Amino acid sequence: MRELGTGIGWRPEIADAVEGLAGVDWVEVVAENLCAGHVPDSLLRLRERGVTVVPHGVSLGLGGADRPDAGRLAELAAKATALGAPLVTEHIAFVRAGGPLTASPALEAGHLLPVPRTWDALDVLCENVRIAQDALPVPLALENIAALFSWPGEELTEGRFLAELVERTGVRLLIDVANLHTNHVNRGEDPAKALAELPVEAIAYVHVAGGVERDGVWHDSHAHPVPPAVLDILSDLASRATLPGVLLERDDDFPPAQDLAAELAAIRATVRGAAARGTATRGTAAIRPAAPVAGAGGPAVALVGAGAAAGPGAPAGRGPAPRVAGAAAGRAVDDAPAPRVAGAGRPVAGAVPEGVRQRVGIAQAALLSALVAGTPAPEGFDRARLRVQSRALAAKRAGIVAKVAPELPEILGAGYRPAFLAYAGSRPLRGGHRRDALDFAEHLLIAGQPADPVARLRLTTWWRERAGARPPGRTGRLVRAARAALAGRRAA
């Protein structure tokens, strides 16, 4: 795997700071924030200096029940080409559910949600990954995500789930150590165990980020300094394997450039120190039984260490990913599913049956509906945690809408956030966040809000300037709301 070095997430808000930071070898950019034909000047200048740029996708939803959208894959491929990227990255997550596969309303999460660690979900994920690999011009790496809740009836640990994914597809891994910490706090999962089960030779690079704990729940905010606990997990990982790259993520509440530089320095020092401690033992891999997981179908096997040849009894294919004829240059992939470890569950099939996709899709649609549409929580979930997740999704929507339509919080003042959260509680995201802003404004106007007639008139004007043509029923309701607003202003 190509050596990347130490990097930072490029965001428009800190573009100048990133260009001025010493020792930045590479940057990562959110793919959905780019147009292939209009690369920001800051990124072009960084590329001219020899800084590698990696696109990081958030919307493919490879863990979803549907096959990946060909249009989204083509866009990601074009951005990778435009940036001259050595690889692209995405997430092990689902971001939408419902639709024709489940004969239910299509729903968007607007957020990365965890995939159930079951054999069915793994089968679907692996096929989706192979579809993506075939469509992309460079290798693909996938990131483990943070979660506020667990799925009931999971059959694999996180480490084993990732190991199976790599074994079957040859995909690389983007290990987010902050997400391992999040899952430790929120789900009681042991980061050290997850690292011990990982095929560390498949790591493309590592994410490091900060978060915050509120009421016993860790929120992976990317808006706070990196805590010592996250650096401890990074140290553990760096002592087990040579890391091709490590990247600092920061998405909000951006600090001064000197604070970013200090965090990068702490990351470099952590990796150097851990690598020195791990040199004596790295390369002496050993096979030991992993902790059994209920329903996993047989004894698990874990690989400890990095890159050593498998000894007797080792799982097939657990070494470096095999190369395949026809794969993109330099890509380590396996187009055919790798054999399952003996005794570790049902045999690996070829194409995933539609019935399996439907089962996964129905479960994901029921969960997402509970989170964004106010329907009852599916059986077996921690309802309190789902409420926390639901509030977090609504708050994230409110924040994004405030950025794409800053006039709304300006018009509504302190009433913006509570009004939006009330609106979002039973109205799923549809058609993107700009559409969401218009729907929210329409919702308020139909309800005769805001109460202040001047603010209501300003909101009516804002909506009319942006909404365009609408279906007759909705237009009629809005006209009535606008007339009521004007009448109220005259009466005042």
Q: Which helix (H) or strand (E) holds 277?
A: helix 257-278
Which residues are 5's β-sheet partners? 245
Query: Residue 411, SS3?
Result: helix
Across the strands, what pairs with 7?
26, 247
Burial 14-46 (b: 16+ CB within 10 A, else e): bbebbbebeebbbbbbebeebebeebeebbeeb
User: What pLDDT score does 335 carry?
Assistant: 34
d(CA 25, CA 289) in angstroms, rounded, equals 38
Tens of pLDDT, residues 402-442: 999 999 999 999 999 999 999 998 899 988 899 999 999 99
Average pLDDT score over residue span 26-52 = 96
474, HSE (Cβ side, Cα atoms, 13 Å) = 12
The mean pLDDT of the chain is 85
Q: Which pLDDT score, from 0 to 100, does residue 481 have?
A: 55
The reported pTM is 0.80
Tens digit of each residue's pLDDT (9 = 90 or more) over 124-148:
999 999 999 999 999 999 999 999 9
R_g of the chain computed on alpha carbons: 24
The whole-angstrom separation of Cα 53 and Cα 88 is 10
Token pair of 456 as six digits: 């209501």
Residue 470 pLDDT > 60, yes or no? no
Q: Is 234 left (phi over 0), alpha (psi -120 to 50) or beta?
A: alpha
Pairing of strands 203-208, 212-214: unpaired
CA dist 337 and 159 (Å) reads 19
d(CA 348, CA 438): 47
DSSP H/E element including 99: strand 94-99
The Cβ-side half-sphere exposure at 104, using a 13 Å CA radius, reads 17
Residue 381's alpha-carbon distances to 33, 63, 66, 262, 437, in angstroms, are: 34, 19, 23, 41, 31
Summarised one tens digit per residue, pLDDT across range 94-105 is 999 999 999 999
Preceding peptide of 450 cis, ω within 30°: yes
Considering only residues 330 and 420, tell me which one the structure prediction assigns the higher pLDDT: 420
Query: Per mean pLDDT, which range of 225-234, 368-377, 476-485 is the poorest?
Result: 476-485
Answer whether 57's CB lies under 8 Å from 89's CB.
Answer: yes
- The residue behind tokens 């604070």 is 259
Question: What letters, b where the CB count within 10 A reaches 16 and e where it falls short, cover 410-420?
Answer: ebbeebbbebb
Question: Residues of the chain with pLDDT > 70: what percent?
Answer: 80
| pLDDT for the residue 325 | 32
